[in-house]
Structure 1
């Protein structure tokens, strides 16, 4: 199947600093692909290059089988068959909602432009605001209008740049759910940029994690969360507890129990990553002392509880103190000072060579 969009060997520099480094990326018809990474990793620059808003320096950009950017070639954005939704929505303040959506439909007659614009506004639930101006709308309403404007010309691909960053958490959840269904109904391929891993997992069929201008891992949300290829990727999908130590007899010793190692040589320094939900705490039975922890604080986070734990461990007469987090399902709020036993969930433990990050 021919990709709707392909970035091939794309590199880009600003003032001699390479911000995109030999990036190759495909998006299939109807697919939602998220570029995920920290600020400054190059994801927005990659999106702007795909859109034609940033002149290509190295590599190629193809829409279907047509090269739209390459050596000596730079097709303007309006000729690429794309829809754009920016972080600030970029609605025209002097045009009402209807005219904002109709703006990109200049090839049609006035009556057709109006009807197509109203159709898209109905799809996003904003037809009743057709005569209002952007300043009269909430952030969520502006976001819906921006999406309607992007979808109105029936583009082959939609490009979204941090589209929910200006919304509060409750509104963000509702809007992104609506947007996901609208995108899937439209059949357009979608490239979305975000720094929010939960947002990427909610929206994406496939995620490409970027770091320092490069894609470091690519795959489904499930594969990236359950099978990260580095401590960086594991840590980017949520808070983690991290330990370092040498591999000995196929394990790395940690203050909360041994972590099994399969593919690192004996004596290798390793980083052990344990998600908070992988640290299960249970009642400390009489006579038990191994892997005991002292509760510092407990906090209810809604669907789960976060328990702050203090652990002391040591050998050869030295003692080291550790502060860990355990995330338990539901309401689990042991009092500060309670002693609990820690059990590791092997499915939430990841081990990598220490020097890689």
Structure 2
């Protein structure tokens, strides 16, 4: 395996608080990788490190096999493109904005036109080449920002919440673009999102962050609280576990291991809660249900199960799951 990045003993400390604590993380080259976590989990802080726009308080980062101790050299800098959550374009046309990026990277002017056209073609935005940047829609702005980033042909593309503030159509267009760039352009693409389903669907591998730390637990149905004698108290619900941990503060439940019923089940499952169905959403070939049981649960079922249960928004349902389905950390 060839690594794009290797991180060792990384800590980022801000205002005497550790906001990122990563003992070890290896990111493979030429893969699409999603960085998952809630707001404040440390996703942007990690992307800042990978883009080398900030430095860790402790630890070391290796880029393409080379340890980075000081600033990047020009070749290393041009190998990385970073697109912020709210990309900014200068006044002038789309062509002008992308051309400026090429100039800053030291690309010879004779190559500008062809590189700009190729980059815009890759994001299905050729028709925008002479449009004023100030007139672009949110979706167009994101696509042009990506075109600007890939115009100088970096090896690594970093994107912070690229799907935020986009409508469904714009989101789907951007998903296709990232898939094509990953599969056809041999790039390492790392993007952050708080939408776990989107991250899993697009990426070949995922990084899960909770309060600045890596976790292998699914980032759905995560609750905060305290555990005592295998009983986890969220402050709103008490959930039975099989954990012997005494200091755990988080709990996660796999959404595929929760059973939905219209009535309380006569079962050995120790966790059963009544709630109200507040959302039904398609997620690929499955259906995601959001259910309010004082805490908000996400449940994955098949479309056939949805029909059989005859569920609709506002329905009263029961959730049931085994204590062994609960991960405490």
Does structure 2 conserve the Cα–Cα contact (< 8 Å) formed by 1:32 and 1:204? yes
Structure 1 stretch displaced more, 32-41 or 101-110: 101-110
Equivalent position of 2:280 in the other structure: 301
Equivalent position of 1:101 in the other structure: 98
Q: Following superposition of structure 1 onto structure 2, how do residues 58-97 of structure 1 map, counting pairs within 5 Å? A: 58-67=58-67, 69-70=68-69, 73-75=70-72, 79-80=76-77, 81-91=79-89, 93-97=90-94
Q: Deviations over 1:85-119 (max 9, x none)?
A: 1111222x223112222333233332311111111
**In the TM superposition, what is the alpha-carbon distance from 1:76 to its structure 2 partner?**
6.4
Distance between the aligned counterparts of 1:63 and 1:307, measured in 2? 41
**In the TM superposition, what is the alpha-carbon distance from 1:145 to its structure 2 partner?**
0.9
Structure 1 residues 99 and 264: CA distance shift in structure 2, 3 A = same
Equivalent position of 2:24 in the other structure: 24
**In the TM superposition, what is the alpha-carbon distance from 1:216 to its structure 2 partner?**
2.0
Equivalent position of 1:237 in the other structure: 220
Distance between the aligned counterparts of 1:75 and 1:88, measured in 2? 24
Equivalent position of 1:155 in the other structure: 154
5+ residue gaps, structure 1: 218-227, 229-233, 249-257, 311-320
Asked whether 1:279 is paired with 2:259, we answer yes
Structure scoring higher RCO (CA < 8 A, sep ≥ 6) equals 2
CA RMSD of aligned residues (A): 4.1
Asked whether 1:351 is paired with 2:326, we answer yes
**In the TM superposition, what is the alpha-carbon distance from 1:302 to its structure 2 partner?**
4.9
**In the TM superposition, what is the alpha-carbon distance from 1:299 to its structure 2 partner?**
5.7
Equivalent position of 2:191 in the other structure: 192
Length, aligned pairs only: 303
Equivalent position of 1:141 in the other structure: 140
**In the TM superposition, what is the alpha-carbon distance from 1:41 to its structure 2 partner?**
2.4
Equivalent position of 2:7 in the other structure: 7
**In the TM superposition, what is the alpha-carbon distance from 1:120 to its structure 2 partner?**
1.0
Q: TM-score, normalised by structure 2?
A: 0.74
Does structure 2 conserve the Cα–Cα contact (< 8 Å) formed by 1:295 and 1:335? no
Distance between the aligned counterparts of 1:43 and 1:335, measured in 2? 33
Q: TM-score, normalised by structure 1?
A: 0.69
Structure 1 residues 32 and 100: CA distance shift in structure 2, 3 A = same
Distance between the aligned counterparts of 2:39 and 2:290, measured in 1? 29
**In the TM superposition, what is the alpha-carbon distance from 1:54 to its structure 2 partner?**
0.9
What secondary structure sits across from 1:105 in the alignment? helix
Distance between the aligned counterparts of 1:151 and 1:335, measured in 2? 43
Distance between the aligned counterparts of 1:20 and 1:305, measured in 2? 31
Larger Rg: 1
Q: Following superposition of structure 1 onto structure 2, how do residues 241-260 of structure 1 map, counting pairs within 5 Å? A: none
Structure 1 residues 211 and 77: CA distance shift in structure 2, 3 A = farther
Does structure 2 conserve the Cα–Cα contact (< 8 Å) formed by 1:309 and 1:326? no
Equivalent position of 1:111 in the other structure: 110
Structure 1 residues 334 and 135: CA distance shift in structure 2, 3 A = closer
Asked whether 1:50 is paired with 2:29, we answer no
Distance between the aligned counterparts of 1:129 and 1:323, measured in 2? 42
